[in-house]
Amino acid sequence: MNENVAKLINTQINKEFYSAYLYLDFANYYASAGLDGFENWYKVQAQEERDHAMLFYQYLQNNGEAVTLTAIDAPEWTRGDNMAPLKKALEHEKYVTSLIDEIYGAAYAVKDFRTMQLLDWFVKEQGEEEKNASDLITKMELFGTDAKGLYMLNSELKARVYTAPSLVL
C-alpha cells in the first residue's frame, strides 16, 4: 500500500473515533434536555462512527499496514438551543466527506484500486450521512418550535435502531 494512502487512512481512524465522541456528546446534551429520542439517534450515530473507524482499522491490518492510534480530542461545539447539535452534525459530516474525498484522491493518484473500492462504500455512506443530517434540520425547523411536533419528532427518533454495516474487506 502506498505510504501516503496508509497514513491518511490511519488519520481517518482517529477522525471516525472523534466523530463518535462528538455524537456521544450530542446524545448527552439531548439527554439533559429530556429529549430521549434525539439522545437515541446520536447514540446510534456514535456506534456507526465507531464501526467506520474499525472498518478502516481492519482494512489496514488486512493489507499488512500498522495501525497507529492517537489521542482523541474532546468534542468542540457551541451549545445553544436544540438546533445547535443538528447544525454542527451537518457541518461535521461535510468535513468527513472532504476527508474521504482526500483519501480517494490519493488512492486514485497511485492507482490503488483496492482502496478506491473500499472508499466507494464510504463515499455513498457520506452522501447518506449528509442527507440524514440535513433532513433532521428540516424536521426541526418544521416541528421543533411546537411542543406536540417536537414530541412526535422525538418519538420518531427514539425508534431508530443500529444496524452494522455489511462491508466485506
For 65-80, write each residue's pLDDT tens digit: 999 999 999 999 999 9
Report the pLDDT averaged over residues 127-147. 96
Average pLDDT, the chain: 96
Q: Provide the grid cell at 85.
A: 447539535
pTM comes to: 0.94
Phi-psi region of 76 (alpha: psi -120 to 50; beta: other; left: phi over 0): beta
pLDDT band at residue 168 using 50, 70 and 90 as cut-offs: low
Q: What pLDDT is attached to residue 169? A: 66
pLDDT band at residue 165 using 50, 70 and 90 as cut-offs: confident
Q: What pLDDT is attached to residue 163? A: 87
The residue whose grid cell reads 424536521 is 139
**Cβ neighbours, 10 Å, residue 108:** 14
